[in-house]
Structure 1
Amino acid sequence: MESNSLAHIGKIDIEAFRKDLLDWFTAEQRQLPWREDSDPYKVWVSEIMLQQTRVDTVIPYFLHFINKFPTIEALASADEEEVLKAWEGLGYYSRARNLQSAVKEVRDTYGGIVPSEPVDIAKLKGVGPYTAGAILSIAYGRPEPAVDGNVMRVLSRILLIWDDIAKPSSRKIFEAAVRELISHDNPSYFNQALMELGALICTPTSPKCLLCPVREHCAAFHQGEQDTLPVKTKKKSVKRLQMGAVVLKTDNGNYLIHKRPSKGLLANLWEFPNVELDSFGSHRKQLEEFLRLEYNVEAKIDNGLLTKIEHVFSHLVWNIDVFTGSVKDISMISEELRAVEEEELVQFAFPVSHQKIWKSYKESCLKD
């Protein structure tokens, strides 16, 4: 279908649309901890956490994070291990590293005040157009667009926009639409209302049109296209890797863990020793050989699996066969491995997949 982009925007009563949307949000908005005030730092933290993560999941993380790092200075001065530990389980850990890096820049360059100018805030690491628009509008009352997936879905239906929202180039169309529609009196509520509408009413499937406060302004509803829009091409298929991991216990009751590289997937997080496996031969023997060659560890890996874990990234799936094992002599092992007491493990930030490995291991110990 041919794109008509913003042709429909001239057909709606913008003032009436704004009023209906803002009245609804004022009355119905969810009580969320980052909405208690408009502190730019708290808005920033919440928006970074909410990327690719559900609101219900974020709430306890946000409260814990702000309690631990209540100010720009507190986060900027914190040890990265401490920050990653506070982020543990949220995933997409580059968000936490970028946030801390940008916060340091705010401390050093802007005197600890989050910039209120679009050109300045856009320079901060990890702050893209959406996050910049959210901070500027919510914290500073600037009429800047904050366009995420929710907003694109809502506006594609209201304005009958047929451009593919999966294409980065389409964002400009939706940003232009928000600039036309946004309330200059209350840009904070306007942007939050569009997001809230997408999250609660104008959902990806089975939108609740009968409950929608702006249904009368919605071209897709009037033309019966609400289930067709938005146009969104499917992602490419993800790559699947067969992995093997092992919980290794030493003779004196310590456990061997490894820190991932400072760049790339799950950078700087801790994990149990693991390796990609091939489909030929014993997975247990492949792990033993890997440990010997990579870490100079002579391990005895137990027969049988502890568990199997599937961990899904946006572009990748790990299928992990998890084993247990023991090591007698660690005097010659590689410095890349660290032997830690069980009580110490809680101090290290592990990705979710390896938290699950440890949980399965502890449950198996209770059964024995």
Structure 2
Amino acid sequence: MSEPAVDFPENRDAIRAALIEWYEADHREYPWRETDDPYAILVSEVMSQQTQLDRVVDAWADFLDRWPTVADLASADRADVVAFWSAHSLGYNNRAKYLHEAANQVCEEYDGEFPESSEELSELMGVGPYTANAVASFAFNNGDAVVDTNVKRVLYRAFSIPDEDAAFEDAATTLMPGGESRVWNNAIMELGGVACEKTPACDEAGCPWREWCDAYQTGDFTAPDVPTQPSFEGSRRQMRGRVIGALKEHDRLAVDDLGPKVRVDYAPAGEYGREWLRSLLKDLSEDGLVETSQQDEKTVVRLQR
């Protein structure tokens, strides 16, 4: 596996384990996550394109009640499939046509058994690379790392991955543990959909990557799909980032030695002095990022271990 163009934290195994443990402990319950039937998963993936997942649940169940197997769908009248799609407000009726055609391909070209590789799945009508990889991952556990908008946002914020498709692909591939595409892709998409949304909910969702996340440490939660925050320069989140950066470089610093590295105008008794800095350190301490101790009558700060 190639190394990414950016530096990840050294303890990648801990990063992987933390995410999987978080996902397996508690995640949104969607019925297609409880099956490895490629037909049911394909239906969910096609329905979920540009449609909120909560709206898909009932439509997915109704669809499988009416056409429970790929053979049932293949033998159905295409007009009935399109009418179902329209009646359930799933949008883009051509997706219903493509799904019906794909069912016919599976029955006619693969004797009713879904191909297992992303490459072969991509040959099915209306099944692009993303959907093919999703079915390979969730049905057969042999897919590649998924890279959608949510995953890009997570990688950009957590590890400062450049906003470039190749960089995201490289980073996602490097992070995914081998042979675990089913749980990993579900987990990282869940992270982007629950904890790392456009408006982040790091603490509320118990994000498992807070201790490694660049955005959480700096307070800068911009992302490719989130506009840059114009007030970052001189903001409290910028100062938090400077504290973290200084302590990464120097291991530990007395408060009055740390101050000038955070603000050039730091003065112990000034507006941006000890009281201001201690308030900043208190926030970082409560977030589990730094710790303070007394040494030789001085307050010394270090990154929490």
Coarse TM-score class (shorter-chain normalised): 0.5 to 0.7
Q: Which residues in structure 2 correspond to 1:86-165 (within 5 Å)? A: 86-88=84-86, 89-163=89-163
Q: Which residue of 2 aligns with 1:219?
A: 214
Q: Who is 1:59 aligned against?
A: 57
- Contact between 1:142 and 1:187, CA under 8 Å: does it hold in 2? yes
Q: Deviations over 1:294-336 (max 9, x none)?
A: xxxxxxxxxxxxxxxxxxxxxxxxxxxxxxxxxxxxxxxxxxx
Bigger helix fraction: 2
Q: 2:157 and 2:113 mapped to 1: Cα distance?
A: 38
Between 1 and 2, higher relative CO (CA 8 Å, sep ≥ 6) is seen in 1
Cα distance change of structure 1 residues 232 and 201 upon mapping to structure 2, 3 Å threshold? closer
SS of the residue 1:31 aligns to:
coil
Listed one character per residue, the Cα deviations across residues 256-305 of structure 1 (whole Å, up to 9, x for unaligned) are xxxxxxxxxxxxxxxxxxxxxxxxxxxxxxxxxxxxxxxxxxxxxxxxxx
Is 1:29 aligned to residue 27 of structure 2? yes
Going from structure 1 to structure 2, the CA distance change for 1:190 and 1:47 (only over 3 Å counts) comes to: same
Moved over 4 A (4+): none
Structure 1 residue 36 displacement after superposition: 2.0
Q: Would you say the 8 A contact 2:198–2:226 is kept in 1?
A: no
Tell me the CA shift for residue 162 of structure 1. Answer: 3.5
1:196 equivalent in alignment to 2:190: yes
Alpha carbons of structure 1 residues 183 and 31: separation in structure 2 relative to 1, 3 Å = same
Letter in 2 for 1:230: P
2:247 is aligned to none
> Aligned residue for 2:41?
43
Q: How far is the alpha carbon of 1:159 from its aligned partner?
A: 2.0
Partners in 1 of 2:66 and 2:7 — Cα distance? 45
What is the one-letter code of the residue matched to 1:149? Answer: T
Q: Which has the higher strand share?
A: 1
AA aligned to 2:185 is: N
Other structure's SS at 1:183 match: coil
Corresponding residue number in structure 2 for 1:85? 83
Q: Does the 8 A contact of 1:143 with 1:179 survive in 2?
A: no
1:230 aligned to 2:224?
Answer: yes
Structure 1 position 79, deviation (Å): 0.7
Give the letter aligned to residue 146 of structure 2.
Answer: A
Quick one: distance in 2 between partners of 1:87 and 1:12?
48
Whether the aligned pair in 1 keeps the contact of 2:102 and 2:124 (CA below 8 Å) is yes
The separation in 2 between residues aligned to 1:173 and 1:76, in whole angstroms, is: 40
Contact 2:5 2:167 in 1 (8 A): no
1:182 is aligned, of 176, 188, 199, to 176
Q: CA deviation at 1:223?
A: 3.0
AA aligned to 1:225 is D
- 1:217 alignment partner, SS class: coil
Q: Distance in 1 between matches of 2:208 and 2:185?
A: 15
Cα drift, residue 189 of structure 1: 0.8
The residue aligned with 1:355 is none
Aligned to 2:14: 16
Letter in 2 for 1:176: D
Q: Secondary structure at the match of 2:115?
A: coil
For 1:109 and 1:25, the matched residues in 2 are separated by: 37
- Whether the 8 Å contact between 2:30 and 2:57 is mirrored in structure 1 is yes
Q: Distance in 1 between matches of 2:26 and 2:107?
A: 36
TM-aligned CA deviation for residue 180 of structure 1 = 0.8
* Contact 1:151/1:198 (8 A) holds in 2: yes
Question: TM-score, normalization: structure 1?
Answer: 0.57
C-alpha distance in 2, partners of 1:159/1:12? 12
Kindly state the Cα deviation for residue 232 of structure 1 after the two structures are TM-superposed: 6.2
Q: Quick check: 34-43 or 140-149, which moved more?
A: 140-149
Q: How many residues align?
A: 222
What is the TM-score when the length of structure 2 is the normalising length? 0.68
8 Å CA contact retained: 1:162, 1:229: no
Code of the residue aligned with 1:123 in structure 2: it is E
Structural mapping, 1:268-307, within 5 Å: none
Aligned residues: CA RMSD: 2.1
Q: Residues of 2 paired with 1:10 and 1:17: CA distance?
A: 10
What's the % identity of the aligned pairs?
A: 40
Q: How far does residue 185 in structure 1 lie from its aligned partner after superposition?
A: 4.2
User: Which ranges of structure 1 fall in alignment gaps of 5 or more residues?
Assistant: 1-5, 164-169, 234-368
